[in-house]
Every structure is written in structure tokens, then in C-alpha cells.
Structure 1
Amino acid sequence: MATFGYIRVSSTGQEIARQVDALKAAGVEERYLYVDKMSGAKASRPALNEMLGKLREGDTVVIASLDRLARSTKQLLELAERFNAEGVSLVSLHEQLDTRTPQGKFTYTVLAAMAEMERSLIRERQREGIEAAKARGETGGRPRVASDKVKKAIALYKSGQYSVSQVAAEAGISVSTLYRYLRRNNN
């Protein structure tokens, strides 16, 4: 019987040290730590999949928090069902959850539903914010480059006297923006 640890951070810039320390303190050995650096919304996570392939009956999976394991009730319940079917326990340190107990199994189900509700509320607030911005006439996305800058950049480029980086610097636009406009204008 082994104790595995799963760690997930949403981006490569986030630190994993806090989660590593917590899982080691809970008895997870370094060789049993699995780390994914990607959004929890993604169903396929390489380190999680690798860990799942190594789990055996009697093993325990320790996580820092339920939201590190999955971001929807469906994902959490699917993993819980899989763990249960395979005889694997789940321990979440933040929620003080241990599925080896009846209370832990119940709490896991309730917390999973709450986590999904929180994510839905965030999406709803985001959608409302976007709609309010549109009502004020604001548009999302990348700001448009002024047409005079584009015209200047294209003229400099067509002159053949400057490198692409010199044209972009002189016109005050990025090289990628210059290439994008050149493609659009078939120049």
C-alpha cells in the first residue's frame, strides 16, 4: 500500500512548494508526487493519468485541496467512483476529508457540489461583466493598431530599405502585428 500525492497548479508561473510541503508532511514520499501545471478544467492531465495508472487496491491519494484534483462535480465524482471501485482512498488536507470514513465519503460529495457551484457563479459573474461592458460600448480583445501606424509600417516595409524589426520599431508596432497586417494585405 502506497501513499500517492497529486499536485496541480493552473499555470507554469505558479509555485508548487506549498503543496509539496503539505503532502510530504502528510507522509507522501517524493517519488510518489505527481505534478500537473495546467488548468483543472482540462480532463486529460498527464501526471494525473500516470498516477491513476499506478494506483492499486489499498493505496491512498493525498491532495492539498479538492480544487487541485478537479474543477467540476462530475470530475470529482468520476474520480471518487474510480477510487472506490479500485479500493483507493482519498485524503484532502484543506477540507480535512478522508474517504476511508463514512463521514468523509459524505463530505466529499457535498464539497464537490459546492466547488462546482462556485465555479458556475464565477462564470456567471464573468458573463455579466462582459455583457455590462458591451452595453457601455466596450469591446473585448486586443486593441486595434491605429491605421496610420499600419500604413507607415507597410510603406517602410515595401521600400525594402529596412529589416522587419526596424520597420516595426519605427512604426511603433510589434513584429507579429506587422506580419499579421502584411498577410492580410497580401504584401
Structure 2
Amino acid sequence: MVGHMASMIYGYARISTNDQTTSLQKDALEKAGCDRIFTDVASGAKAHRPELDHMLDLLREGDMVVVWKLDRLGRSMQNLVDLMTTFDERGMQFRSLTESIDTSTPGDTLVFNIFGSLAQFERDLIRERTRPRTRGRSCPRAEGRMTRQT
């Protein structure tokens, strides 16, 4: 097998079945210099996206993933953060054209780390809300505490 010589720029587009923005996304990705573009036709909630999986299999250190808009890549903030973490761990860059995010710059890496922290905070809040109120815990209001916690 031939080694992966030059870094590649991969574009990823996702459209829903009734979405007409395919050409808009592809045009923007081509203008951004993508060597190859992967497109999935799926609803945002649909877990299986074969073209995204195919692209992830091809990615190598030094490559860049470009999307037209963040919501085209991730189904949720957590899914997006997981993908960003994967890119970062594998030495890849990420760029979102609409949001002007480019993780090859320190400032944008910081912004994405903040997104990750917010996603973790959201998960913690959900876990807190869905935890059974057993083990002697009572409603915060009944204990005289308001929900203002810092």
C-alpha cells in the first residue's frame, strides 16, 4: 500500500432528503480547496452516516476536514465535540466555513475547547435532572436553597 504522502483536505456535506443546499455546500467546499468531498443524505438525528464513516477511515495525521456549517457535521453538541476530539487526537485540523472556525489557529482551538466544556456542563445538568431523588435528598426549595448555584 502506498504511504499517505501529502496532507489531504476532505470536505463533508450532509443534507436532509428535502434539502436543496447540496450544491451550495459542495460549491463552498470546492472553493475552500477540498481534494475530496463526502456527502450523506440523512436527517440530523439519524446515527448512521456511511460517507462520514468512510471519510473518518481515510483521515490521517496532517489532514484537514472542512464543513460548510457546524451542524452539517455533528448531530448534537456532544457528537460534534467527540468528532473534534478525534480529529485533535489524530493530529488533524478542522475548519467550518460558515462559523469561521479553523483549529489550525490557537484562538479557534480555544473556542472549540470552550464548546467541549459547555457540552460537558450540559451532560452534567441532564444527569443531575434525571438522577433519582432518593438517598434522603429533598427538593432544594424545601431545604431553603434556591437553585442559584455557582
Aligned twin of 1:15: 21
Measure the CA separation in 1 of the matches of 2:19 and 2:25: 14
**What are the within-5 Å matches in structure 2 for residues 7-86 of structure 1?**
7-11=13-17, 13-29=19-35, 32-86=36-90
Measure the CA separation in 1 of the matches of 2:67 and 2:104: 14
Measure the CA separation in 2 of the matches of 1:65 and 1:111: 15
Contact 1:12 1:38 in 2 (8 A): no
Aligned twin of 2:8: 2
Contact 1:12 1:37 in 2 (8 A): no
SS in 1 for 2:54: helix
CA shift, 1:27, in A, is: 0.4
RMSD of Structure 2 on Structure 1 (CA): 1.9
Can you list the C-alpha shifts for 1:17-40, whole angstroms capped at 9, x where unaligned? 0001101110013xx100001012
**Relative contact order, CA 8 A, sep 6+: which one is greater?**
2
CA shift, 1:44, in A, is: 2.2
Aligned twin of 1:95: 99
**Where do 5+ consecutive residues of structure 1 fail to align?**
118-187
Mean CA deviation greater in 81-90 or 11-20? 11-20
Measure the CA separation in 2 of the matches of 1:9 and 1:85: 27
**Where do 5+ consecutive residues of structure 2 fail to align?**
1-6, 123-150
Aligned AA (1:10): S
Measure the CA separation in 1 of the matches of 2:49 and 2:22: 16
Measure the CA separation in 2 of the matches of 1:70 and 1:57: 21
**Percent identity at matched positions?**
41
Question: Which has the larger Rg?
Answer: 1
Measure the CA separation in 1 of the matches of 2:94 and 2:19: 27
CA distance 1:111–1:67, change in 2 (3 Å): farther
SS in 2 for 1:58: coil
Contact 2:63 2:93 in 1 (8 A): yes
Aligned twin of 1:169: none
